[in-house]
Structure 1
Amino acid sequence: YDDDTIHLVGGGYDMERLLKRCNAVVYIIDAQDDYTQSVSSLNMIIQSGRRVNPRLRYEVFIHKVDQLSEEEKIETQRNIHNQVRDFFANLNGGTDSWPLTSFGSNPNSQNILINFHLTSIFDHSIFEAFSKVIQKLLPQFNHLEDLLNYLISASNMEQAFLFDIQTKISIATDSSPTNMQMYELCCDMIDLLINMSQIYGRSNSDVVEAIEDDINDDENNESIAKDIDDSTNSYSTSSLSTTSAETSCSSITDAINEPTSNVFDSMSSSVIKLTGGRALYLKEINRHLALVCVLHEKALSKQAIIEYNVNRVKKSILELFHLTHQTSASFVTR
């Protein structure tokens, strides 16, 4: 057992102090290099985390897999997983009393919460992996997922993503399996909209004025809709009023002073028709978030209904983060 973990982070930081304050650790392993030492360092970090923060989550990014075949990818992931598992089995005298488990397990158990992701910078797998990390840590994720489920059901859509504009990370999606190709197209659509808006968009002063109008509208609206349509009314009135929050949660709606695209405002929206009869629909939520939906082109014949439902979802999302921020602030005050 090696208790010297200071060299892993550098700068003289106390590893255990860092792990105690974390909710998740993202550890990157180079799949094209000899990763024996990297796995040993990972085991060392997990050992430290077990002592100070048993509920800490570990996300292992097996990176640079673009040069590996599908069989080599699977074999590399299995090999790394087995090395970590065997280390902790041997540490406990051959009995695996600290089994590895995924995030789907009970977070109150004494298992090591660890996931493995195959990533590369030559596709959007790195964004998808970070999206999964963020979604597991976001306290509002279940409510956001339910809202997006109702949206695609009421608007005849295939899938819906809630993106952070700057990072292209999806902080929420509906419960259907993610189509990687559609995910990549949604990211490209955000880039395209921002690039086009920088050429043809309004001046900065007009954008600031529009943002201030949005804030005033939200403050004056005392009864933000809790439903997408009549079928979602019962869900919204119950779930949004009982949202739990963690102390570390911050309000996205209050982060208006952070640098974002100067051309992304309340009027930002776009529809792109794809080959094969599909289309992408984008609508801003605020300066930091955008809702991107995948739907059949024929569904655009009822675009007025889609826009109405999307606006209901937008207001519910903003209200959800606002309620969470208020709950978190009152908890800190106590």
Structure 2
Amino acid sequence: MGKGIPTADAGPTTTGNGDIKHRSKRDQKPRLLLMGLKRSGKTSISNVVFRKMTPSDTIFLDTTTTIQKEATHTFMDFQIWDLPGQIDYLDRSFDAESIFGGVGAMIWVLDALDNYMETVGHLTDTVFHLQQSYPSIKYSVFIHKIDCLTEDLRDDTVRDITQRITDDLYDVGLENPPISYHSTSIFDSSIFEAFSKVMQSLVPQLPVLESLLDTIGASCHFEKVYLFDVISKIYIASDTTSVDLRAYELCSDFINIIVDLSEVYGWHQETDFHEGEQLAALQAHGAESYVNNIKGYTLYLREINRNLSFIAISKDPAFDREKSLIDYNVGMLRDTLLKVLDYV
């Protein structure tokens, strides 16, 4: 029978000999694994992205010794499992199904400042074995702490790591495994950009969403458009033009301002309003805001629902004059998105 697995909460319950008795509803949510060797930065990433910890405070975090589970309650309800790096999960005495069953994506965090030969070996072994039993898992490699390297060394390191992993997997018979690579740091927006790409791989409606955002971007002369998860600042979709991290940071800061203002001045759906028709009209329309002349951009936000917001960046000098038409077009987009995402 499989070994009992150290865990920080109830999780999959086990009998004395390690058999899985049942899974709670919480454990049946889509799962995303954070894996990597000890001290690679997994727990810091989880705390910065999903618990809003200040990056400088992560130096006080202890080494993870049990499976840490973070349940999200945003656009896509899922679990983040932070796995201790000192355990061999490929050991046959472990019950692999209790860890890897139901996993949508696995993120392997690789410390770019460390001797990464060992972790590359562990990663390729893990991917090879999981592909045999769990072929639907998608893999992302976060080449982490990259901000501490010079630009030239950064490019060389990323290139070397990517090539070594590709060669090692080819040698064991995996020519085109579903792996993406991301250079990350918790001290800038790169970690949110990387997580956005991971989450997009789990959104089945992504091609439709991208097509809709391409259309609205072209019709309204937007430079870039996003669908943001308001709480995590992860974007679940964008138009297919290239992402500018500086523009992304502007959008993320804009959401922070709107959220802070909403907590003070916004309406709450559970409040007992006497003017119910006015509230219904506001909810049907979706909250909207825009601001001009932010580093040469106009930022436009439209609420899709309480979890998602549409944000667009414009450099069009005629934005104010054409705003009524933009409002109409984005309103039609909102109605379509609600249908695509099954929120109506």
Question: What is the TM-score normalised by the length of structure 1?
Answer: 0.68
For the residue of structure 1 that corresponds to 2:302, the secondary structure is strand
Q: Residue 259 of structure 2 aligns with which residue?
A: 194
Determine which of 147, 150, 155 is the counterpart of 1:69: 150
Matched, 1:314 2:334: yes
Matched, 1:304 2:324: yes
Shift of 1:150: 1.3
Shift of 1:211: 11
Q: Once structures 1 and 2 are overlaid, which stretch shifts more, 199-208 or 111-120?
A: 199-208
Q: Which structure has the higher relative contact order (CA within 8 Å, separation 6+)?
A: 1
Cα deviation digits, residues 59-85 of structure 1 (max 9, x gap): 000111111112211221122223223
Going from structure 1 to structure 2, the CA distance change for 1:43 and 1:156 (only over 3 Å counts) comes to same
Amino acid at match of 2:87: H
Going from structure 1 to structure 2, the CA distance change for 1:121 and 1:47 (only over 3 Å counts) comes to same
Q: Residue 99 of structure 2 aligns with which residue?
A: 18
Going from structure 1 to structure 2, the CA distance change for 1:14 and 1:115 (only over 3 Å counts) comes to same
Matched, 1:40 2:121: yes
Unpaired segments of 5 or more residues in structure 1?
92-96, 100-110, 219-265, 326-334
Question: Where do residues 159-174 of structure 1 align in structure 2 (5 Å cutoff)?
Answer: 159-174=224-239
Going from structure 1 to structure 2, the CA distance change for 1:8 and 1:271 (only over 3 Å counts) comes to farther
CA contact (8 A) 1:20 1:52 kept: no
Q: Residue 98 of structure 1 aligns with which residue?
A: 174
Q: Residue 293 of structure 2 aligns with which residue?
A: 274
Shift of 1:15: 3.2
Determine which of 145, 160, 180 is the counterpart of 2:245: 180
Amino acid at match of 1:282: L
Q: Once structures 1 and 2 are overlaid, which stretch shifts more, 51-60 or 280-289?
A: 51-60
Matched, 1:7 2:7: no
Cα deviation digits, residues 185-205 of structure 1 (max 9, x gap): 000000011112223334675
CA contact (8 A) 1:63 1:120 kept: yes
CA contact (8 A) 2:286 2:304 kept: no
Matched, 1:157 2:222: yes
Whole-angstrom CA distance in 2 between matches of 1:27 and 1:194 = 31
Report the structure, 1 or 2, having the larger strand content: 2
Shift of 1:130: 1.0
Going from structure 1 to structure 2, the CA distance change for 1:141 and 1:277 (only over 3 Å counts) comes to same
Across the aligned residues of Structure 1 and Structure 2, the Cα RMSD in angstroms comes to 3.2
Query: How many residues are treated as equivalent by the alignment?
Result: 257
Whole-angstrom CA distance in 2 between matches of 1:56 and 1:23 = 5
Determine which of 306, 322, 335 is the counterpart of 1:287: 306
Whole-angstrom CA distance in 1 between matches of 2:293 and 2:227 = 20
Whole-angstrom CA distance in 2 between matches of 1:138 and 1:205 = 29
Question: What is the TM-score normalised by the length of structure 2?
Answer: 0.67
Q: Residue 228 of structure 1 aligns with which residue?
A: none
For the residue of structure 1 that corresponds to 2:187, the secondary structure is coil
For the residue of structure 2 that corresponds to 1:54, the secondary structure is coil
Q: Residue 40 of structure 2 aligns with which residue?
A: none
Going from structure 1 to structure 2, the CA distance change for 1:208 and 1:153 (only over 3 Å counts) comes to farther
For the residue of structure 1 that corresponds to 2:321, the secondary structure is helix
Shift of 1:208: 8.1
Report the structure, 1 or 2, having the larger helix content: 1
Whole-angstrom CA distance in 2 between matches of 1:211 and 1:49 = 54
Determine which of 208, 211, 220 is the counterpart of 1:143: 208
Percent identical across equivalent pairs? 32
Shift of 1:213: 5.6
Shift of 1:170: 0.7
